[in-house]
Amino acid sequence: MNPRIVISGAGVVSALGLGKGANLEALRSGRSGVGSVRYLRTELRELPVGEVPIENDPLLSRTSLMGILAVREAMQQAGISGADYLISGTTVGGMDLTEQSWPRYNPSHDCGSITNEIAAATGRFGCVTTLSTACSSAANAIILGANLIRSGKAGIIVAGGTEALSDYHLHGFNSLMILDRNRCTPFTEGRAGLNLGEGAAFLVMESMESALQRGAKPLCELSGYGNACDAFHQTASSENGEGAFLAMQKALAMAELKAEEIDYVNAHGTGTPNNDASESAALRRVFGEKLPPVSSTKPLTGHTTSASGSIEAVFCMLAMQEGFIPLQAPGTDDPACISPARGKGSAPAQLKHVVCNAFGFGGNDSSIILSAL
């Protein structure tokens, strides 16, 4: 019998603000944090980005700074000062600092060193590990943590992801011609692409038994998760959304839920023509005619790449706890896509089970399901 896995703490920083309170307020009101470049040193200043409102530090990468804030908030809520594992998903790592000293290369800014910095600043961890699968990294960190708990290798896990903006990958995404010059409009006709963002979110995960034993309050359950490879292209998604379809299907099977029991899907919904069409195909295959409300929160935060899986998992948790669905701005639906839940701000809703999608370059697709307790 697999143990039930619960979330007992969560922390988040995004372009919407520092901490769950600021993010919740913005999700409810529909306030977007995507705007002109303020902190990133780049010549690409005409592109809108979702920056976290913290100043640059000369010695610490923003990836570390944001990670530290999110881990602290999560651990404080869970009432812990350490854990068996700290698992962080990141791909950019300390590139924001590396590119400042370029071409002098400082080897201390790699992805793993960032997680070590976060660990040193936040608590005692039995093991510290870093996971990098592009934009599904944080979702996969959560999945790895859950597998460690299920296999009895760990009791309490802090897992999530953190990712700063860098000139390096802003140029890279720009070179792929998938950035929108305006605020992104996922699933909307004529959408031009995504906006890059940054942020961090971490969850404290443990078995229900562990939480109850130490008197912690479980916030919600991680009832299912799945990862699959699209096996189609390095940076593009397949037409029929095979990887996304398989990931959602696996998550539903693990949670022992029927598709119609899902109350909300927080889509990966980047705003690129290709992702949204592919994800729509996958959603239609999973849910058929009975599509639950679907929305992307990326017009608010930008695409926070490696951190998006855990940031949006926290958004799902907040939506479930507070009983609302984050809505997308009004717009013309693309007939090739699903129709997202639209309106101003948010709509009240009772949410029992929600799906959160995170898909990465390399065709690495993950879905997790959170359930209310």
Partner 1 sequence: MKHAVIPSGASLPELYRSLAGDYPKFFKMDTLSKLGFLLAETLCKDEPGRFTPREDRAIIVCSREGCLANDLHYAASMEDFPSPAFFVYTLPNIVTGEIAIRNKWGGETSAFVMEEFDRERLSELAREAFQDKCTRSLFLAWIDCPSDTEWVAKAWLIDKEEIENQILD
Assess 39 for contact with partner 1 (CB under 8 A).
Answer: no
Sole binder of partner 1 in the list 25, 36, 79, 102 (CB under 8 A): 102
Q: For the CB of residue 326, give the shortest distance to partner 1 in the complex, in Å.
A: 28
Amino acid letter, 76: Q
State the catalytic residue, choosing from 109, 184, 220, 303.
303
Q: For the CB of residue 133, give the shortest distance to partner 1 in the complex, in Å.
A: 5
Sole binder of partner 1 in the list 91, 207, 223, 296 (CB under 8 A): 91
C-alpha span between 279 and 151 (Å, rounded): 31
How many Cβ atoms from other residues are within 10 Å of residue 360's Cβ? 29
Assess 361 for contact with partner 1 (CB under 8 A).
Answer: yes
Assess 134 for contact with partner 1 (CB under 8 A).
Answer: yes
State the catalytic residue, choosing from 109, 111, 135, 356.
135
Q: For the CB of residue 322, give the shortest distance to partner 1 in the complex, in Å.
A: 33
Residue among 62 and 169 whose Cβ is closer to partner 1: 169
Assess 151 for contact with partner 1 (CB under 8 A).
Answer: yes
Sole binder of partner 1 in the list 54, 56, 76, 168 (CB under 8 A): 168
In the residue annotation, 303 being an active-site residue is answered as yes
C-alpha span between 218 and 211 (Å, rounded): 6
Site for partner 1 in 218-277 (CB under 8 A): 227-235, 242-243, 246, 250
In the residue annotation, 268 being an active-site residue is answered as yes
Residue ranges in contact with partner 1 by CB under 8 A: 91, 102-103, 110-112, 129-134, 140, 144, 147-148, 150-151, 168-169, 171-172, 174-177, 227-235, 242-243, 246, 250, 360-364
Please list the active-site residues.
135, 268, 303
